[in-house]
Amino acid sequence: MAAAANPPSTSPALELTWLDHPDALGAIHAEWQALAERTKTDPFLRPAWLQIWWRHYGARRRFTCLVARRDQQLVGVMPFVLERLWFGPVPFSVARPACVDPHVMILRWPVEPEYLPAMFAEAIDHLLHQHGVLAVSFTPVSEEADHAPVLRSLATDHPHLALRDHDAGRHVVVDLPPTFEEYLQRISANRRSQFRRRRKRLVAEVGMTSDSIVPTAEQMDAFVAFHNAHWQERGYGGHYVDWPGTAEFYRELAAQTAEDGLLRVDRLHGTPGEMASQFSVVAGDTAHWRLPARMLDPEVDRLAAGNVIYLLMFEHMIQSGVTRIEAGRGDYTYKIDYGGRYVDVRRLLVLRKGRVHAVRAWLLLTASDLLHLGYYRIYFSRLIPKIRAVTGRRPRPLWRIWIRSRV
């Protein structure tokens, strides 16, 4: 399907076209991939990721995408999904970037930087007025993201727009130098010597080896099982149980994107077998570190295999040209100790200015926050682990309404 959702709009510099289905993007797949390479776009907004994401998560969502050309050259792609959230009998229509979930931090869009303001202005105006959504949510937004200042400027420069800009915690970013030895010099002398001692001990005692792979579907399955076993021994479900459909999603990604190398698993082996692993999503010079796994064994703990593979992952990333690791939301002292820094995360929603829209946005955010408090913070995080410990109840996935409500 290649028809525009409505007639193209033009400016002296840009030709802007809206496409209304992911299939329509097949015609620009190669151009989009080349644009993503030029702009060092995050993996979540690359064509292979979007196509697979839509197959797994597109149900009950509408798709629309802004495509920009200048002098016939592709200079920007902005895919969005539109969905209706229900809190009791009250519906709220929301648009957000496609291919994201509450973990995904978009740092770079597939847009030439000079065209970001014009494209965001067109996209937000179109979504608010042509599709009639209450708000366009970009949550979560890192202060490191290229589009964070652009969104704030749009709300300032366009009097018909309002911006909800709230604190949403922080995430960790690790900046990597050109060599691993330079990285080691950046951390404390104690941490540096500790890592070297542990690595030597692992080699001497269990014949440690390590590798960094672009996983096949079968190797992705193995990491999923390894990760879930690690957490289920502790009474939790593990990421791939908590988040419905993710195991199948990443399996297909591994099967379909080997040439793109979007997925990475760093592994540490020894005589006990695979002792520890780290899973990341990588594109351009940025890696999004996602999940750890390790063998639950007193000997593995004594040898600190999980700590060693964490730093060996950095070594492998540096060797492959990665200069920045987005290391996840939350407060992690050990990540800071190993060269990370905290970066603020924001909750950004753009809506039309006006009292009615402001009240409806307040209701949406309040309902979302109450669901988060009651369901996730109290029931899922505190009560369910205690119930499982007593009853042996099997872990169950997170509620989909909670996942979609994180605006």
How much is the pLDDT for 390?
Answer: 86
How much is the pLDDT for 7?
Answer: 44
How much is the pLDDT for 100?
Answer: 81
The three-point CA angle 336-338-344 to 5° equals: 25
Where exactly are the structural domains of the chain?
A: 9-168+353-404, 177-322
DSSP 93: E
> In degrees rounded to 5, what are phi and psi of residue 270?
-160, -175
Contacts of 188 by beta carbon, 8 Å cutoff, 6+ apart: 337
Contact by Cβ (8 Å): 80, 64: yes
Query: Which CATH class name applies to 177-322?
Result: alpha beta
Contact by Cβ (8 Å): 5, 247: no
Token pair of 43 as six digits: 């993996």
Q: Which residues of the chain have pLDDT under 50?
A: 1-11
pLDDT, one tens digit per residue, over 324-348 is 999 999 999 999 999 999 999 999 9
How much is the pLDDT for 3?
Answer: 44
Fold designation for 9-168+353-404: Aminopeptidase (3.40.630)
Give per-residue burial for 268-298: e unless 16+ CB within 10 Å, then b: bbbeeebbbbbbbbbbbebbbbbbbbbbeee
The three-point CA angle 60-167-176 to 5° equals: 90
